[in-house]
Structure 1
Amino acid sequence: MDIVASGPFIDWEAMTGLSKFWIDMISVPLFSAVSGVLVNWTGVYMLFTPINFRGFYVPGLKTLFPFLPRKVQQLPIWAPGGIIGYQGFIPARAEKMACYIVDKAVARIGSVKDFYYEFDPQSVAVHMTEVVKRDLRPLVASVMEREHPGLWRDMTPAMREVVYDRIEAEMPDIAERALERIGENVEQMIDIRLMAMRFLKNNPQTLKDIVWNIAAPELKFMVRVGLLGLPFGMLFALVIYYYKNVPLLSAVPGWVVVLGGAALIGVTVNLLAIKVVFEPADPQPRYKYLWKQAKLAKRQPQAAEDFGKLLATNVINIPNVADELLNGPRGDRVRGFMENIVTQELDRILGRMQSVVRAAVGTKEFDAIRAGSMEAGLEYAPTMVNDEEFNAVQAEKIERFARDKLRELKPAQFMELIYSVIEQDAWLLYVHGALLGLGVGGLHLLLFGS
């Protein structure tokens, strides 16, 4: 057999006293195991890191870029202006990934009305009342002083107390009625799907945390699966040693076999890791799948709990929902709705006093007072939603709701939550495995020869 007995730099047979066969049987599996672990570890790393693009300018790249194949242009290694670098697959595809997660998870958990009523509007009304009462007097005074300072100054302390007491007494009912009316119309005020999608797109770190925390045990397992490179390497070592005895194959140069086999092992360990973690969703006979069921599917109850907690804590929480209501795409509609509520409530509170106040200040100024009351309430809204203890209690309700709904999903539906995120760029992981395998195979050639 035409086999080089030593590497370009070291005569391994002379140094170890072993034959070429045993040198390959030891070195090839070890290199393959290292390659497998390295391929899968860097593959998982590449999914998430770095969050932000990091790169450097390359002269002429901006001119060359339009001529590159479409698939190559889609790689997360380019930035405008001739910059080449890298960004994690998931952060780089934040908008698309957010879309998949929302469509596969949030939309299946419930509608915006379902989420709204899980916040328990009655408890929110009680909280609003308690918060507003602490600052009610300064709030009312600031509106009156701003919109009609003369009237406010002319009112005696006793008259001011009447206004304070009347509004304070009405606050619980006002808050409850307002939240009830919002609940009846919430589907016209907020799109929970778009809210979650926009938030995740603008917060790639949160998107990364959601994917990582749901599938952390499985992603770590994917790295360990790389150790399968060891048995694959043993088989490959036999191929390297004996392929010269096979007709036709003997014409293939040894270095081509080494590099091709190394690349194949890199792809195989990556492919197996993804398959074991994500397929099949439902238990199958072992003659179809040795592992019977995907590891993530087996852990659906715990993964559902993790997802529910992250969703409630980071995405669909009271501050985010309040911000979407007031400042989102439908914010003008919400403000108009709130103005209508404030107008009705003020008219009801003032009752018989309304005509007197209107006559004293004029219709235009009276309407300004009502509008100012609404604006003051909206300006005060952040104070009401920034109570961490209250928000934590509300988050627990959403967490339980999301967890229970996700646990009820069929395994195939649940698996789509994460697999749909990774599946889109799985080919990049396989290419990465092949290239890294080629690198390790080249190093083996350099050290041990063909």
Structure 2
Amino acid sequence: MDGHFLYLSAEAWKYLSMPVISAIVGYVTNVVAIKMMFHPIEFVGVWKPYLGWQGIVPRKASKMTGISVDTITESLITEDEIFGRLDPDRVAAELERPMIEMTDEITDQVMHRHHPALWEAMPQMVRAQVKRRVRNQAPAIVRELMNEVRTNVRYMFDLKGMITRVLVREKNLLNRIFLETGRDEFVFIGRSGAYFGFAFGLLQMAIWAFFQQWWLLPLFGLLVGWATNWLALKMIFNPKKPIRIGGLTFQGLFFKRQQQVAADYGSLVATQILTPQHILEEILSGPYAEKLFAMVQREVQQAIDDSASVARPFVTWTLGSDDYEQIKAEAVREVLARMPETLSHMTGYAHDAMAIQDTLVSRLQSLTPRQFEGMLRPAFEEDEWILIAVGAALGLAVGWFQLIVLFSSVFMERFGG
């Protein structure tokens, strides 16, 4: 303990550096492999796809998206469940105030635009009664629409299509699904690279002390870069079920964390993908929006006809049938234009009633190991060999560095000055 160990020879320090360098190589190659899985989002290079790189997950976005969509829609939740939890009467109650405001504004706006003199000449009592009847029709319209949507949900709402469009539109979101779901596993991959690398380095140092062949250092570098990646991936996903050996229990890290992973995944999907806002957007602008608008048009026109019966004498004397139909058509257009803003008032209730996050978490926690593996494993399986090959190439380069810089005498003996 007198500090003489600090004055070891340069040759001794070279030997002692081997496990340290090997640990660094293992760590760096594993971290680089993880980065290459997800970044860059877009291709960077000069000749796609050969000279350059794009993260494996973004590059395989279509397939990765399909896997995520299948996981959600086939194992976790369906369209029927989402809409079946919405009570038409409660939805009507949530929308009653904004619907009243909207119908009053549209009635005044359309009548002032087409027949301001008639509207102003109409007795205040009659105008109020028209508005009141329109208001009274509003909740019935909402209930009828909700019942039809629930009955024909598969023909009016495309859950798979909605999730796909959200993930394609927000490219970083697909990365987040894998990164946040496998957060601890990715940390383990980096750290395990250092641990395994250090162990390989000790073996390398012992062999090099007795067997100094020039090819040994590059070979060990290659093996460290390859083996640390390979071992880390194997330890994450194997074994799927707990195995007891002596007093120790072994299980793949990903499966051991199923409860926590389920909570993280469920929270991310519920707050970023299956949100009431995205569901509403899909209904109003998705491929089946025309069916909904046709239903709204039918119900609104019927409500106008019922409400206009109060003022039938005025309508008969003053408006022709063409004018009346034109007014109805414009009123329908106004209702459709204001639907997104009006329906947004029910998102708070929809969030609570759908309980998407709770459903996702509970079902994820009950998935079988094989089903659960499908959430994260595809990110590794796609071009996994590339990640291992990159690790091996980096390790090989470091092995040559050790040979040329640290043990130059061996290098010069083999290759000359």
- The alignment's TM-score, normalised by the length of structure 1, stands at 0.79
Take 2:218 and 2:354, find their aligned partners in 1: how far apart are those partners? 54
Cα shift at 1:230: 0.4
Matched to 2:342, the amino acid is M
1:268 partnered with 2:236? no
Which of 224, 248, 258 does residue 300 from structure 1 map onto?
258
Take 1:116 and 1:375, find their aligned partners in 2: how far apart are those partners? 26
Match of 2:240 in 1: 281
1:230 partnered with 2:189? no
Match of 1:314 in 2: 272
Which of 353, 356, 359 does residue 398 from structure 1 map onto?
356
Unaligned runs of 5+ in 2: 1-5, 411-417
1:95 partnered with 2:62? yes
* CA 23–333 in structure 1, closer or farther in 2 if over 3 Å, else same: same
Q: Is the 8 A contact 1:101 1:421 kept in 2?
A: no
Cα deviation, 1:40-79, whole Å, max 9, x if unaligned, reads 1122222223334445xx4xx5xxx7xxxxxxx4xxxx6x
* CA 343–387 in structure 1, closer or farther in 2 if over 3 Å, else same: closer
Take 2:168 and 2:365, find their aligned partners in 1: how far apart are those partners? 26
Q: Is the 8 A contact 1:312 1:396 kept in 2?
A: no
* CA 156–89 in structure 1, closer or farther in 2 if over 3 Å, else same: farther
Match of 1:9 in 2: none
Take 2:295 and 2:59, find their aligned partners in 1: how far apart are those partners? 38
Cα shift at 1:314: 1.2
Take 2:353 and 2:377, find their aligned partners in 1: how far apart are those partners? 26
Match of 1:330 in 2: 288
Q: Is the 8 A contact 1:236 1:261 kept in 2?
A: yes
Take 2:404 and 2:153, find their aligned partners in 1: how far apart are those partners? 67
Q: Is the 8 A contact 2:86 2:354 kept in 1?
A: no
- The alignment's TM-score, normalised by the length of structure 2, stands at 0.85
Which 4+ stretches in 1 moved above 6 angstroms?
none
Deviates more, 1:46-55 or 1:89-98: 46-55
Which of 153, 158, 167 does residue 200 from structure 1 map onto?
167
Cα deviation, 1:291-316, whole Å, max 9, x if unaligned, reads 72221212212211222221121111
Which of 339, 362, 370 does residue 412 from structure 1 map onto?
370
Take 2:312 and 2:398, find their aligned partners in 1: how far apart are those partners? 84
Deviates more, 1:22-31 or 1:341-350: 341-350
1:239 partnered with 2:239? no
Matched to 1:224, the amino acid is R
Where 2:152 maps in the other structure, the secondary structure is helix
Q: Is the 8 A contact 1:131 1:384 kept in 2?
A: yes
Matched to 1:42, the amino acid is V
Cα shift at 1:348: 4.5
Cα shift at 1:341: 3.1
Q: Is the 8 A contact 2:276 2:347 kept in 1?
A: no
> Root-mean-square deviation (CA), in Å?
3.0
Match of 1:39 in 2: 29
Cα shift at 1:359: 7.5
Cα deviation, 1:332-379, whole Å, max 9, x if unaligned, reads 233223323333444455567679747753444433333333322221
Cα deviation, 1:68-95, whole Å, max 9, x if unaligned, reads xxxxx4xxxx6xxxxx544332223222
Where 1:38 maps in the other structure, the secondary structure is helix
Cα shift at 1:36: 0.9
Deviates more, 1:228-237 or 1:106-115: 106-115
Take 1:269 and 1:440, find their aligned partners in 2: how far apart are those partners? 15
* CA 45–390 in structure 1, closer or farther in 2 if over 3 Å, else same: same
Deviates more, 1:175-184 or 1:365-374: 365-374
Take 2:298 and 2:235, find their aligned partners in 1: how far apart are those partners? 57
Where 1:110 maps in the other structure, the secondary structure is coil
Cα shift at 1:146: 4.8
Match of 2:3 in 1: none
Matched to 1:113, the amino acid is D
Where 1:329 maps in the other structure, the secondary structure is coil
Unaligned runs of 5+ in 1: 1-14, 66-72, 79-83, 245-253
Q: Is the 8 A contact 1:271 1:430 kept in 2?
A: yes
